[in-house]
A and B are shown apart, each in its own frame.
Chain A
Amino acid sequence: MKLLPFIGKRAFHAIFVLLGLSIVIFVIARVMPGDPARVAVGAHAPDWVVQDIREQMHLDEPLVVQYFYWLRDALHGDFGVSLVTRRDVAQDIIEFFPASLELALFALLISAGLGITLGTLSAWHKDKFVDNLVRVLSYMGVVTPSFVFAILFLLLFGYLLHWFPTLGRLSEDVARPPTVTGFMTVDSLLAGDMVAFWDALKHLVLPALALAMGSMAQEARITRASMSENLNKDYIAASRAFGIPERYVMGRFLLKPSLIPTISIIGLDFAANFSNAFLVELIFVWPGLSRYGMNAILRKDLNAISAVILVLGVVFIIVNIIVDITVAKLDPRIGLRSARSE
């Protein structure tokens, strides 16, 4: 199957997935205890204020009617007003999404780069010291939650060693570049402000590293396992018998096919990091979508909850499509027709 029809088909399927997701989250958010209007304005606000909000949000209507209103507006790009930030949810998403995306992409760079490298080293030195060391590190990475790494890095590299900043996206005394993409690093480059770029980059390191640790460990193990399996195949033995240099065998013949499962995991990890970054964002005061979403849930901010879940759903779908295309490119035998989600 060619690329464009493949993407078109997946996009068509995605509509139904998102529709289903929206219904589920719409219902779950509304059966949670608490009157969102009262929570928003506090115990002292007079009843007419609460009632106004309820009417604006159609909260007195049956659930089906509420969903209809929500869907109608959402299709026009209007996700309603957040009861926490008191402004359009769409505006919140535009502001907070890039911060999380930048963090997740940076974490992806770290986890994929180091994970594949460590996995390759591990396979290359199978059952030797390096392999054992990487194995121990990987186990630690997999079993330790990202927020533990976040606190550890904060105290070690921020508090004790003072290597990296620990608060927000930019230092107090660095002027914020004009927002173009919402990526602090990119915006500062676009503004030609290298001080801000360098500062933004340093602010990314610790939260991204904390977020990347679990993924990195997992990717290292998958790469190692896949390479070890392929290492025993006849074509590798044949390559070596022909006297092809070991480095070339590892890189050209072994790593590439072995990366297929790793790529799939990287994709899933990236999407998962996006939604699991709540505590990391909280610890580093990172104004991202995960923190926004969690605050929305704690305060029963219905519109924000639905919008955040939808955005995360879209991220998952896009990442899955990219992974399928990448896997197909890496191994022509698989092809888009047989991509795993088909």
Chain B
Amino acid sequence: MNTWTRQRFVLLGIIALAVVMLAACGGSSTPAPAEPTQAPPQATKAEAPAATQVPTEASAAKSPVALRVTFAWPTYIDPAVGNDFSSSAALVNLYDSLVFPAKDGGVIPWLAESWDTSEDGLTWTFKLRQGVKFHDGSELTASDVVYSMKRLQTIGEGYAYMFENVADVSAPDDQTVVFTLSKPSGLFLLSLVRLYVLNEDLVKANTAKKGSYGENGDYGKDWLLTHDAGSGPYMVKEFPLEEYLLMEKNDDWWGDFVENAPDEVRFIAATETATVRTLMADRRLEISDQWQTVQALKSLDAIDGISVAAIPTMTEFYFMINTKIPPTDDVHCRRAMSYAFDYATAVSLEWEGTKQSQGPVPATLAGHNPDVFVFPHDVDKAKEELAQCKYADELDQYPVEIHWISEVPDEEKFALLFQSNMADIGMPVKVVSTPWLSVVENMSKLETSPHIVTIYVGADLPDAGVMLNQRYSSATADQWLQNEWLLDKDFDARIADALATVDQNERYAKYYELQDYIVDLAPSLFVYDQVEKHAVQDYVDWPAMKGEMSPMQGYYFFAPQIGVNPTQ
């Protein structure tokens, strides 16, 4: 081939490339009609501008109705591993638990039809529902429950920490499960919503011999990364890591689906604003993730057919104050901060519906004390308290550092507001942006913990005691859950006693007293109860928006109760 021929060959190559690109454009510039939120039958229709199109009857009949939600990666669908936001949302759809959370904070029967407890509160007996089938068609029995609990405890990750007091579990017959606790617990029944029941035979058949769990090999962990072994209303169809989790409806599920429950649920691993906006505007995404900024949500809210749902959560936004270093080791200094902070302005910076926290636990949690003292924004009172602080005359020597988490840019404005408010009472404050991993590292030791860290903390169970325990007991002092370093033995004993109280009313009464106790110490600024903001298509009937679902993490994405009607 001579040079000129070669050049022409190269030129032809370039032209071919251009033709391919133009043809690719052309292929979708005149898209065939496609149903807005349904996966269309033809590849060329999938990315069509669906909002303005009318579905044909044939395509509507064939296309599965999809509920698509964006989430932050990673998602773990192994019940002994996952416990974060997206993992929880997946687990509640793939697996069944013995009990199910009610919207008011209690539980309702689920796999367990009934239960009984011994007088000492140490033995719990559950009778299982008959005829429940796993996704492979085999029957769910008590042995599967025993296996699931033992596997969870052995692996020790995920929600295993909720079952540390389970000393034994047994299955006297196929329909009966007996749990024996090492000490009484007022939370055991509630905790069982996080025991997701696995198909023992299926997991064993897919267990690698080589692993960290002795004769149990890898306990099926590798296989369960991308497969499910559940009996829940949806089952895994595809799970390419870092891309999406696609679950399809389990028509043989024993429970009820609402009329327009989705045929498929797709969790998409994307939180980038431009990506989410494009998908929402194209009606190729039904619900956005919770990580969109207020500004991004306002922009989405302005699009016809999209609303923003503000869902109360079990999460509170705290300014965690180190109680062991000057000047914040003086309670009067901390109270001065609590009075000087402008809560109303802080709340106004958030989405509509956000409310100032009423004490150290979110109001959504059962056992929250509605009469607990709430610090108002009162500069005079703040000055009075500051005058009683032993560092009042030497505040310049103790500038307070407030650290906000770099990865959550929205937090900066709250730190700046705090700085401005404290200037009003003459307290110097330095605002510091710190990456999350450094925050965790710093908070693990008293000597490196800053004066204040701004952090959102959520409760895993809708119970005030859970939050009080994880926020203020000495056991969590070196974790990111607590910057206060309260190290209060009296509090430790009282919260342990409260959590062990089986009688609900008695337990809540103890919680009330503990909330008063904490507020008096002013170890934190209780800024606001977080509302989770999601952009939602108007054709989605999401009970969580109406307060009809449990606020427990993941449960408001329980798809059998979510209606998706794209023709609406």
Interface residues of A (CB under 8 A from B): 32-35, 38-39, 41-46, 48-49, 52, 56, 84-87, 92, 95-96, 109-110, 113-114, 117, 150-151, 154-155, 157-159, 161-169, 171-174, 176, 195-196, 198-199, 201-202, 205, 248, 251-252, 255-256, 282-285, 287, 291-292, 295, 298, 300
Contacts and interface: CB of A to CB of B under 8 A. Distances in A.
A46 B154 CA distance: 11
A48 B153 CA distance: 12
9 cross-chain pairs, A with B, having the tightest CB-CB distances, nearest first: A171-B46, A34-B437, A165-B47, A33-B441, A49-B156, A162-B49, A173-B39, A287-B242, A159-B278
A154 B437 contact: no
Among A158, A202, A283, chain B packs the most CB atoms within 10 A around the CB of A202
Between A161, A166, A167, the greatest number of chain B beta carbons within 10 A of the residue's beta carbon is seen for A167
Contact of B243 (A32, A56, A285, A300): A285
A110 B238 contact: no
A33 B436 CA distance: 9
A167 B161 contact: no
Contacts of A169: 243
Interface in B35-49: 39-49
A109 B24 CA distance: 16
15 contacts: A33-B441, A34-B437, A35-B441, A41-B157, A49-B156, A96-B242, A155-B277, A162-B48, A167-B279, A173-B40, A201-B20, A202-B27, A205-B24, A255-B7, A285-B275
Given A39-B437, A56-B212, A164 B222 contact: no
B265 interface: no
Contacts of B480: 43
B282 interface: yes
B27 A168 contact: no
Given A45-B157, A162-B31, A173 B7 contact: no
Interface of B: 3-4, 7, 13-14, 17, 20-21, 24-25, 27-29, 31, 39-49, 63, 66, 73-74, 76, 81, 83-84, 155-157, 160-161, 164, 212, 221-222, 225, 238, 240-244, 266, 268-270, 272, 274-275, 277-279, 281-282, 284, 407, 435, 437-438, 440-442, 444, 460, 470, 476, 479-481
B283 to A, nearest CB: 12
A87 B225 contact: yes
B277 A33 contact: no
Nearest to A194: B43
Contacts of A113: 13-14, 17
A163 B7 CA distance: 31
Given A34-B440, A42-B84, 9 more contacts: A44-B460, A113-B17, A117-B14, A163-B24, A164-B47, A168-B244, A171-B43, A173-B43, A285-B243
Contact of A172 (B24, B39, B278, B470): B39
* B40, B44, B407: most-surrounded residue (chain A CB, <10 A): B44
Contact of A166 (B63, B244, B278): B278
Contacts of B81: 86
B156 A252 contact: no
Contact of B4 (A44, A150, A251, A295): A251
Contact of A176 (B17, B41, B76, B238): B238
A71 to B, nearest CB: 22
A117 B17 CA distance: 13
Nearest to A299: B437
A251 B74 CA distance: 51
B416 to A, nearest CB: 24
Given A162-B49, A251-B4, A287-B243, A282 B25 contact: no
Contacts of B45: 173
B270 A285 contact: yes
A113 B281 CA distance: 34
Contacts of B161: 44-46
B437 A300 contact: yes
A198 B24 CA distance: 8
B123 to A, nearest CB: 24
Contacts of A87: 222, 225
Contacts of B244: 168
Contact of A32 (B25, B40, B437, B460): B437
B282 A159 contact: yes
A251 B437 contact: no
Nearest to B68: A172
A305 B266 CA distance: 29
A158 B270 contact: no
A172 B266 contact: yes
A52 B212 contact: yes
A32 B244 CA distance: 30
B221 A33 contact: no
Contacts of B63: 173
Max chain B Cβ within 10 angstroms of own Cβ: one of A113, A154, A256:
A113
A44 B466 CA distance: 12
A183 to B, nearest CB: 15
A282 B272 contact: yes
A33 B437 contact: yes
Nearest to B164: A46
B25 A163 contact: yes
B212 A86 contact: no
B17 A109 contact: yes
Nearest to B273: A151
Contact of B156 (A48, A172, A285, A287): A48
A31 to B, nearest CB: 11
A203 to B, nearest CB: 9
A90 B48 CA distance: 37
Contact of A86 (B66, B76, B269, B470): B76
Contacts of B42: 173
Contacts of B272: 282-283, 285
Report which residue of B43, B76, B270 has the largest number of chain A beta carbons within 10 angstroms of its beta carbon: B43
B248 to A, nearest CB: 13
B223 to A, nearest CB: 10
Given A85-B74, A154-B275, A285-B268, A198 B222 contact: no
B293 to A, nearest CB: 15
B222 A163 contact: no
A155 B76 contact: no
A164 B25 contact: yes
